[in-house]
Structure formats: C-alpha cells, structure tokens
Structure 1
Amino acid sequence: MINSSIWINFVLFSFLFSAPVSLSDIEKMASNFINQKTFEIKEPISTLQLSEYSNITIVNFHPSGFVLTSNDNQLIPVLAYSLNKNFDILEIPIHLEMTLSKYEIEIDQLLQNNIIDNENLYLWLNLLRNKESEEAARNVDPLLTAEWDQDPSFNLQCPYDNNGPGNHAVVGCVAVGMGQIMHYWQQPQTGIGNHSYTHPNYGLIEADFENTNYSFSNMTDLTGNFEVQQLLFHAGVSVEMDYGPDGSGAPGGPFSPFDNPNAFSALQENFGYSNEMQWLSKDNFSSIEWLELIKHELDNDRPIAYDACANVGCHFWNIDGYEDDFLHCNWGWGGQANGFYIYSALGPDDEPIVFNSEEFIIIGIMPTSAFLEGDINGDSLVNIQDIILTVNLVLSNEYNSLADLNSDNIVDILDLVALVNIVLGI
C-alpha cells in the first residue's frame, strides 16, 4: 500500500510541473477561496469559459458570489471575486470587457515570455488543499451603497427617444459615476447655476441646478425613483452628455486644452465639490505608485472616479474599496459584476506589460462643505483634540492627508504649528 503522505507529495510534485489547470481543480480552488471568506457555505452552480477570454474561467455560486480565475497554475489563481454578486456573461459592461481584455493580454504575454512567479504555484496548491489564506493586510470595505444603472428606471428624465430603453436615451456611464459619488456624500442640497446645450438629435437640453433641491434622503440604492433620475439627468447635462438610444458619452476629465464640460469640472462648478480635486494620468506613475495612490484615497473614505480609454472608447466607473491589491469596482451597471478585481499585471511590477489604453482617476472628491481645514478627526470642529491627534501622527511618523496642512506629503512640526495657529485664530 502506498503511504498516503508519499502519494500526496507525489500529486503536489506533479502539479508543480503542470501548466493548464483542469476545470474540476479550478472549481475546487474557487470554492475553497470563496468559502474561506464567508461563514455561509456557497456551492458552485456554473463554471464558464468564454471563447474570447481563453485564459479566464468564471465560477458562479449559490446563493450568490463569483470567482474569476486564471486557467494556468503559473499565474495568480484569483483575478476577481464577489461574495454577494453573480457574474452574468450576457450583461457584461463594456468597461468590464476592457478589464477582462487587459487580463487576457497580460496573461498571453506572461505565458509567451515564460514569465513565471513560483509563488503562484503555491497559491494554487494551498487553495486546492483548502489551506487558510492569510487575512488581508490592508482593506477598505466598499463605500458606495448605490447600485445604479443606465436603463429604466434610471433614464426616464433623459431625452425622449422611442428607439431607447423605456423610450428614452440611456443615462451614460459618466453621469452614473458622478451620481453615485454624490449619493455617497449626500451633497449638494442645491446646485450652482444652470446649463444648457443643443444636441444634434434632441435639440435644447437644459438643467437648472441652483433651483433644484436634490433630495438624497428620498433616493433609493437599487432603483431609479424620481429623485435618482433627476440627479442622473442633471449630471448628464452638466457634462453636455452626447445622449443616444444605445449609448451616451461624455468626457470624464480635461482630455484636451479646450474648455469642454467634463465630470471633473462639473463636480466643482455645478455641484460644489472641492477645488482640491485632482485629475491624474497613470502615465505619470508606476503601477505600484498608482495602486498606492488609490489605496491612500480610499483609506481616507473618498470613493474614486476611474476613467479608462482603449480602442473601444473611454469608460467611467467607481472604485470604492480594496482588499490588498484587489480593487472594488462598482461598474454602474445595476450592481452587475461588482466585486474585487486584481489591479493588474499578474506578474512583477518591473515586467513590461503592453496594453493599448490610457487610465485616469479623479481623487479628492468631496463636497466643499465637507472640508474644514484642521478638522483631523472629522467632528466638524477644530480644537485641542485635532492637535493631540496631529502630535501622535508626527511622533509615529504616520501620514494623514487631512493633517498635511502644507500639502508636502508628510505630517511634521510645520503642520502642527499651522494647526495650532488655526485653533488660536492666528
């Protein structure tokens, strides 16, 4: 009789030299992964491999949840997951298609160039053996509660079009991304000014922001009632949305030197959001720096607007949480496929990964009324408690953007002196 430990070691040794993973092992790994993260036992109900994404498998679970896996044990096992959403392959948002295409291209390059991270082999083995994974070193639970969409019942205040869903043009991803962040902050109560423009198909489109009361307390998280529809339409008007029955588009930020309306400028000019907001390009950061920038923003409870452009166009969504290097994406598609997605590279940061895209983020998104200089602990007061907190930050060499009063990316004695002067009214 073969000793059981010898047999197990033989199987594990064999696995180290196999590349593609069987569907049964993929399903087993995904089941172990998701059940380690929840007290509710989840059973796989479908395992799907799509022809256009040959390196990726989708495992859906009952009653809810999905795991997106790679198909090769040389690669990181889990690419994305959710504990409370399923993955409908018939309703994949275009911006999620971009992310899946990015994964596919990266995996192809890693395999073709034989870029192997041996740690991935052991990740596969540990999950197949149901060995408990380490808890996330850093995480922020999803900040947004809204799961809004572009179609009925969300688009009923958009221009009338009998070729569109519900006889209206669709909302547009930029308006949904803006609206979900404003819903998070519950601001503004009223907007600033008004705006109008002439659409080639729908004629004059206008919104009166300053005479509108945005009743956030009456807005629903999952359905588009009147108040939600109004906010989404006004967000669309503020960026001069190019409405259409099949898709509506607008710029997320200042792509050109021309003064075109966009989400970045409209949040400030029409909805009273902070002048400290920044529009940043991934081109100016390494992947590690980019990921850390995103995490730092989420650590300070500020959801992010993410804009990515590829050959299929530009798309806009929200990132509102993270778990280690998995970013929680709210795609603005009625909650479909919302989940934690690995940021990238499926390999070391110094390995070149070619993907024909541009990526941008808007950070610092918060209403002007939410920002009180020197209010480090967020109690809407500036007093001795904030001074004590800043002293502790200085002594521990920790960073908090609210305490960085001179914006030099460190919290030191200069910030403490500035805070004392604010408290004393100097």
Structure 2
Amino acid sequence: MAPAHLFNVSDLAAAHPLGTVSPVGVLLLALQAWLLLVLLVRLMPGYSRRPPIAPRTVPRRDTRVSVIVTTLNEVTRVGPCLEGLMQQQEPMLEVLVVDSRSTDGTRELVEAASRRDPRIRLVTDDPLPPGWVGKVWALENGLREAQGEWVLGIDADTVPAPGLVGAVIDAVEQDGYDVASFSPQFRDQTPAERFVQPAMLVTLVYRCGAAGATQPPPDRVLANGQCFIARRDLLVQYGGYAPARASWCDDVTLARHLAANGARVGFLDGSNIIQVRSYASLAEMWREWGRSFDLKDATPLWRRWLDVAMVWAVQALPLPLLLIVGSLMATGSVQLSGAPNAILWQALLVVNGSALFIRLFMLWALRGCYAERGWSFWCSWLSDIAAAWRLTLSTARRPKAWRGRQFSELAAS
C-alpha cells in the first residue's frame, strides 16, 4: 500500500472558509499534471517505434559475431541457451562461455555442447579483482578472447531463436547503430509473477521511453544485457566493460557511457528473437530484479528520486485517487458543479482518468512481451502500488549480493 504521507483524503476534501480546497490538493494536482505531461513527451516517440525484429532466415558472410555467455552455476538454465546458439548460422563465428568456476555441472554441460558444435568454447575467467561485479568481469574476459567484429552478450537464462544473430546485425546496420540491445519475451512465468512483473516493467517504460523509439539523450538510454551487441573496436576504444565494472545495472551504465562518447545506441523490440525465463518465483524476481531496476550507478540520485515521484504520481496513485473521489461523490462530500472547489475536483478526475487510460493502453502495448498472459497479466495494473513500492526500496537501498555472490565492498561504496 502507498505510504500514508503521500496523500491524505481529509486534506483533499477539507475546505477553507472561502470554500477553496486545501493547498495539498492543489499541489498534488500540479505535480500529477506536470509529470503526466513529461510522461506523454517520453511516450510519444513510441507511436513510430520500429516493430519487433524478425529472425533472419539466411546466413550472412560479410561480418563476424562473437557471442559471450557468462555462467556461474547455471546448469539448470544454460542448456536451452546453448541449444538456441547451436542453431545460429553465419555471421556467428564463436560462442565463448565464460565460466566463473561453477561447481554444479555447468562446465560439463558446456563441454558436452562444445563436442557437438566446435564453435562453442569454454573459457574460465581470471579471479575476480576488487571493485568488479562478477558478470561484468566475465564479460571483460570474454572480450579479450573475442575474434569477431561484433560482440554479442547473451545471458545464460535466455532462449535465442534461430536467426537471432543475423537479425541483430541486420537491425543495427539498417539503423546505423554502433551498440544495440533487444528487449525479450518473458516465458514460463507463474501467475503471481505475471501479476507483478508487468507493473515493474511499465515503470521502466515510464522512466526511459518505449523500445524502438527515437534515441533518447545519453542519460535516458535504456539497455538490456540479456541481448546486447556492440562493435568490438568501439568497446575496446572506450575501455571495454571496465566503465561498468562496479555497476549493479552494468548494461545501462555501459550503454550510457558509450552514448555519451558519441556512439549511436539503440534499444529495440526483440520479442520475436529471444525469450527469457529469469526467475523461478515471484520472491526471486522481487529480490533479484528489484535489486537494480531503479538503474542505480547509471542515473544520478536526484533523478532516480524524481523518477520515483513520477511512478507514484502517474502510475500508482491514479486508481486510488479515482476511487477516493468516487466515494466522496457518492456520499455527497464532493460536488462537480456549483461549488467553489468544483474545478479542482474536475481537474483531478481528468488528470487521474487520463493517467489510468495511458496505463491500460501500456498494458495492451506490452502484451507481446509475454509468451503467456492470462488473467493475472491483464490484471497486473492492480499491482502498480507494489511496483512503485519496490522501486522506492531499490532506490533507497544499496544491494550487497547478486546471484549468490557477496559484494560488501561495492555495497559500501
């Protein structure tokens, strides 16, 4: 539930001797109207966004791509990823599985895949140095081994469709990108996850804009490390993965770093070329994805709190406020005509009704991001308060662990 200090029904309804509404109501309306306008500006380019990328059905031989997959005890998840990569045609040159000394059978599984497809090679990363997140260090080790003109990072919990590698090269060359990442389609989620995770996903769209839209300013670039491609020479020129070495959202940090140095960075809809099953339960998703989805380390603290205010104001609160106003109207406490404060109540209805309409439209627009939907997906807008609360917690706290590894030094920095 929303913290009580965010709004107070009695303050909204209280009238002064002159019949005017409390300044609390005026300030809330002004804040919501301003942030709703900001949201509309961010979402408008989405109307001309590029449609989902289609798999490429024929090979390309005019360039080469090195795929890097990082692993740490991924035996239960990496199999479908490797199967999907073995179905890739040219321009895929190699698959470098950079393992951080797994003990659960991951290495044996990768070695078995390598015997079936010699393009797959197991690489053991060097011991993790101080100040690095494990996944980013593994990517850096993979970059040192990569031979392709392009480097494509693929997460172990993804399922690449046949034709993925050729499709991402087609997409970046068509639009002239130096760097691009692709949003996935989520699969095999529990009903509980489908009730909460779409609301968390919407907060990202509200904060950064729609995938496939016009490239935003560098400090608003969004990225997805589950499918992230870049020119190898560009990565090397600007420090490899080191600029994101201590970041909890390394993909966004790296993309914004490269964009700030003049690279053309894209974020495109990859729901037709890659699927992901990241978490085993709602609790794991709430903990692991919630750890960094405030985009810490890539966004100034003041802006992250402004984003929190936006999510509360135009995503989480419109439905409760509409219910409150409706209940006050039903009891006769609010009049929409003939009262000095009627204009304010009408404005509150218009602003919050518009915000709720946009929210429901976003649910429809994001339906292709989910392989299964059902009632829990279509009702996920009812969990917007939970998503806003998780964003608030993520913004207020510094993580200490990720995928079983402790990072006390990073947590203290």
Higher relative helix content: 2
- Structure possessing the higher relative contact order (Cα contacts under 8 Å, 6 or more residues apart): 2
TM-score, normalized by length of structure 2?
0.24
Higher relative strand content: 1
